[in-house]
Structure 1
Amino acid sequence: MAKNYLKSPDLLPISHDKKKIGAVGFSFIWVGMAVVLAAFAIGGAGVQSLSLGWVVIATIIASLALGFLMTMTGDIGVEHGLSFPVYMRAPFGTVGTHIPSIVRGFVASCWFGVNTYFGSTAMNAILATMVGFDNWFACFIIFGALQVANTALGIKAVERFADLAAPIIIIISGWMYFTLSDQALQQGREVWSWIESPVTGGAAVTAFIVVIMSNMGFWGTLTADMPSLSRFVKAPLHERNWFKRNKAQIAGNLIAYPIVQTFMVMIGAVSYVAVSNYDPVVALQQSASGLILGILLLMIVFAQWSTNITANLIPAATIFSNVGGPKIPFWAGVVVAGIVGVIVQPWSLFGIITQILLIIGGVLSAIVGILIADYYLIRKRRVNVPDLYESDGQYHYANGINWAGLISWILGGGAAVIFANYSFIVGFAVGAISYLLLGKYWWFEKYKQAELTDPSDEKYLGISVGRNWKIEVGQEVETDVAISPNPTAEKV
């Protein structure tokens, strides 16, 4: 294998001057990302056992907790300009990183397929209503191809699309909520008090926790690889204060995301109250017609488009590019993700894939715990970034594998599966605690890390000390030194 296989140009650190997404832009991206079938499903399932008020409270709790964790992992991208699969070389090794990364990439590709199918049904409904064209599979292929092309153009094209889609989504979401609420009232059902099968006592507590875990399990996948997106988010130089450095992230993760997620869960709940189906495409076809129906369904199409390119295609493409090295650029990774999303035939798995992927989300929550333990508790945000791109550097560990990371992931993921109703919390906690103990008292005693041996802020922090990491991508020089004592960096 070529010695520079870790140095794919699309995976190099993003410098400060290339961070183009501000607080408003990041918030708009979140507006588009949060409008997805899973959010509607959470609301529809929730009101089967709880009142809408309790479903909303559970969603807010989950969204705020997850938004904070997203901002924590996202600091890896903000501070050092690193993507998820590149930083994963630290807790999993230069080879070991591929195992959990590919799982995440596969999950993202599957979600791309599911959301594309969902959007294509709305597109097909629009065309059938307006011009009499009725072929959902043709809509699926066209819709998927448009998303792949948009994402392959790069992050700025994604932000521009979000700027266009977000205001439309906000306006039409409100229209959708009131339309479905009116339909429910016409049937004598008050959306905030109606419950299909009320539960009390311990069953009510369990139902409440399930709503929280469903919200956290679904977005837990993005929580892990938030650095792949946050590395493009603007941040002030020489800012040591964590909150000030991440203020653009906070605007999206802790304000925009909880608000939009909660509203989408409400729409799914109201849809279920109105027509016993959380799919708003079905509900809207029964409650509207003509131009109004076309406009409402167009919101579904825009929402899935915006969600897919940001939450699914970008993370999957970054991961596949990392696995393939320089021979697979970002745009090729996008194409691979698109192909996988079609091969899994989401139209055949549509009824069960949400539950399957939510379980996988719980398994991946262990990675979130491992990342936070590695970045904050062990390395204390200091990273020997150049060695992340060296095949024989300090992150090579044992034949490219950090067994502390892999063992912790197995323990955390296994615990999440066993305790499925508490999957995210259990997976996160077991993963974090296991890695902290195994890493600190076993693995890093055996494989010394430069940033732990010499905990220097000036050497190993990023933009908070005014540094842009520079990685040489030309011919590498052979060396017998396992730890790079003088990381290559450029001060801004």
Structure 2
Amino acid sequence: MKPDTTAREPLPAESLDVHDPDPSLYNDDLAPLPVSKRGWGAFEIFNVWSNDIQSLFGYTLAATLFISYGLNGWSVFAAIVLSGVIVMALVNLVGRPSVRYGIPFAVMARASLGVHGSQFPTLVRGVVAIFWFGAQTYLASTAIALLITALFGPGPEATFLGMPLVGWVSYTIVAVFQVALFIRGIAWIGTFLNWAGPAVYVVMFVLLAVIWAQAGNGLFAEIGEVFAGSGDYEGGPVAAFSAIVGTMVAYFAAVVINYGDFSRFVRTEKAMRRGNLLGLPVSLALFSFLALFITAGTAVLHGEALTNPADIVERVDNIWLTVVASLTFFVATVGINVVANFVPPAYGLANLAPSKISARTGGLITAAIAFVIGGLWVGFIEQIGIAAFVDTLGAVLAPLYGIIVADYYLIRRRRMVVSDLYSTSPDGAYHYTRGWNLRALTAFVLASVFSVATVWVPALSGLAGFAWLLGALAGAAAHVVFARLAPRAPAAA
């Protein structure tokens, strides 16, 4: 191979032109994005994470952590903040090359796995996202169903595939809205997130004020009980603390892998890091604090701790608050659904055949498949234990993060040849064996077997909370070892 003559610090994205790209690897959606065409700053990145945290599932998870592990409240807060710091470090690492070169995750994966070898893991990532896109579309529709019911009544009780007429109307509204938002482009998605993130916090503060006014001093007594902790978690407080950290890291894992799809729209690396800091440990701590107080208030008012925001809003006797809160939680759930579960498969499908499939076409294919999945969720898919299947696919993907990061920082020393990411020439830096890096793919398979074992092997069930992190570390270690056992000279610019 040719000797590497690239600079240790890469040139600005505007000067990294792609010369004579192969049509099978290139289209406008996958091309490097110059800084002059980027419109995101720290605020947009902050709102990517805020919307991830603020979804209906995110609220339920945060509230449940305080009442299910037996730890005192401060320990739970510490575990949540620590998980935010860990995720922040992970995305700062994987997001940096996409900021510098303006390339999405699917293209970044070509450097380590080969220009064709990247197709398999990005397709698996897309499958995971499509399943969750359908499920989250259904969850977002419950907020719209609550709104419609509050304004017009429940409607006919007859159900089809587990959902009544109001449910199907709500589900269709959400599905169409998400497709329209995606088609409008990343600028509209950014604007939508910028509105949704702060709006949810405003509604949560209002909801807290209403519940506080109704619960009175009993709110603080209930919070005191939560902060005291029951101490009854099997394995003791250290195991409980570790379980919370592992659960929260796993919650963000899907976005971590393809974070480059969003960091490529940020103007500077400094803005990305600032947005990650505010959006992860800081926003996560604030949201968890609000979820704790609101959930404690529901325990005082209703005799049980309600962890689903839709259930909480439904029991608040205020039609206007119900309307506003329903709309706000709807947009928050839609926001993260588009970010975490719509964009990845759209780019992944485009990466399969760039000359035939654009990101927009990939998004439409995603939406069509996900609509069927979400429509069948209540009546069929949820009943057959699909979560284990999706968890398995997620475990398969975990080593991909480690391989990409280790390849960029430890093997290539932060040097990339952008034109070769779009070239099938045998002399290209990332051609390897007919476009496949067999050593990296071997590392990927071996580490994935370990990750999947934590899902299915009972003896490894104790590692389940950290399966993603351990899989990523295993993938990184195997990739570095295989690369050094059979060294390959870096390619030239």
**Distance across 2 between alignment mates of 1:23 and 1:376:** 24
- Match of 1:296, as an amino acid? A
- Partners of 1:180 and 1:201 in 2: CA distance: 33
Task: Establish whether residue 35 from structure 1 lines up as the match of residue 79 from structure 2.
Answer: no
Residue 25 (structure 1) aligned to one of 37, 41, 44: 44
Aligned position for 2:264:
231
Structure 1 range deviating more: 58-67 or 89-98: 89-98
Q: Tell me, what secondary structure is at the counterpart of 1:325?
A: coil
What is the one-letter code of the residue matched to 2:490? Q
Deviation at residue 349 of structure 1 after TM alignment: 4.5
481, 485, 488: which is aligned to 1:437?
A: 481
Report the TM-score, using the length of structure 1 for normalisation: 0.82
Cα distance in 2 for partners of 1:356, 1:204 equals: 30
| Pairing partner for 2:223 from 172, 185, 191 | 191
Q: Aligned-pair distance for 1:354? A: 6.0
Contact 2:44 2:194 in 1 (8 A): yes
Aligned to 1:252: 275
Shift of 1:61: 0.4
Contact 2:53 2:59 in 1 (8 A): no
Distance apart, 1:358 and its partner CA: 5.3
Mark the CA change 1:415 to 1:203 in structure 2 (over 3 Å): closer, same or farther: farther
Deviation at 1:6, TM superposition (A): 0.6
State whether structure 2 residue 157 is matched by structure 1 residue 116.
no
In the superposition, the TM-score normalised over structure 2's length comes to: 0.82
- What secondary structure is seen at the aligned counterpart in 1 of 2:32? coil
1:169 corresponds to 2:200:
yes
Contact 1:366–1:432 (CA under 8 A) maintained in structure 2: yes
Q: Which moved more, 1:267-276 or 1:221-230?
A: 267-276
1:92 to 106, 113, 120: 113
The CA deviation string for residues 63-114 of structure 1, in whole angstroms up to 9 with x for no partner, is 1111111011101111111110111111112222111111111222222222
* Aligned residue-pair number: 438
The DSSP-based 3-state class of the residue aligned with 2:436 is coil
- Mapped to 1, the partners of 2:60 and 2:440 lie a distance apart of 33
Q: Which runs of 5+ in 2 are unaligned?
A: 1-20, 156-165, 455-462
Distance 1:406 1:189, change over 3 A: farther
Q: State the distance in 2 between where 1:227 and 1:427 align.
A: 20
CA shift, 1:311, in A, is 2.4
Return the alpha-carbon distance in structure 2 between the equivalents of residues 438 and 193 of structure 1.
53
Is the 1:32–1:303 Cα contact (8 Å) retained in structure 2?
yes
Gap change, CA 1:66 and 1:289, over 3 Å in 2: same
Whole-Å separation in 1 of the counterparts to 2:386 and 2:29: 31
Q: Post-superposition shift, 1:149? A: 1.2
Q: Is the 8 A contact 2:233 2:240 kept in 1?
A: no
Answer yes or no: is the 8 Å Cα contact 1:269–1:278 preserved in 2.
no
- For each residue in 1:211-245, what CA deviation from the matched residue of structure 2 results, as whole angstroms up to 9, or x when unmatched? 1111111211211111111111012xxxxxxxxxx
* Separation of aligned partners in 2, 1:177 and 1:106: 38
Q: How far does the alpha carbon of each residue in 1:117-176 deviate from its partner, in whole angstroms, 9 at most, with x for none?
A: 111101110111012264112111111111111112211111121232233122112233
Choose which of 214, 222, 225 in structure 1 pairs with 2:247: 214
User: In 2, distance between residues paired with 1:180 and 1:117?
Assistant: 27
Letter in structure 2 aligned against 1:61: L
Residues 409-488 of structure 1: pairs in structure 2 closer than 5 A? 409-417=444-452, 418=454, 419-442=463-486, 444-445=487-488, 448-450=489-491, 485=492, 487=493
Pairing 1:44-443 to 2, within 5 Å after superposition: 44-46=63-65, 47-49=67-69, 50-132=71-153, 134=155, 135-179=166-210, 190-194=222-226, 198-199=231-232, 202-235=235-268, 246-266=269-289, 274=299, 275-345=304-374, 346-347=377-378, 348-349=380-381, 357=390, 360-392=393-425, 393-417=428-452, 418=454, 419-442=463-486
| Percentage of matched positions with identical amino acids | 25
Match for residue 9 of structure 1?
28
Q: 1:174 to 1:415 in 2, by over 3 A?
A: farther
Q: 1:46-71, CA deviations, whole angstroms, 9 ceiling, x for partnerless residues? A: 22123333222111101111111101
When structure 1 is superposed on structure 2, of 163-172 and 259-268 the one drifting more is: 259-268
Do 1:42 and 1:268's aligned partners in 2 also have CA atoms closer than 8 Å? Answer: no
Q: 1:377 to 1:117 in 2, by over 3 A?
A: same
Residue 242 of structure 1 is matched in structure 2 by none
Displacement of 1:34: 2.3
* Cα displacement (A) at 1:276: 4.0
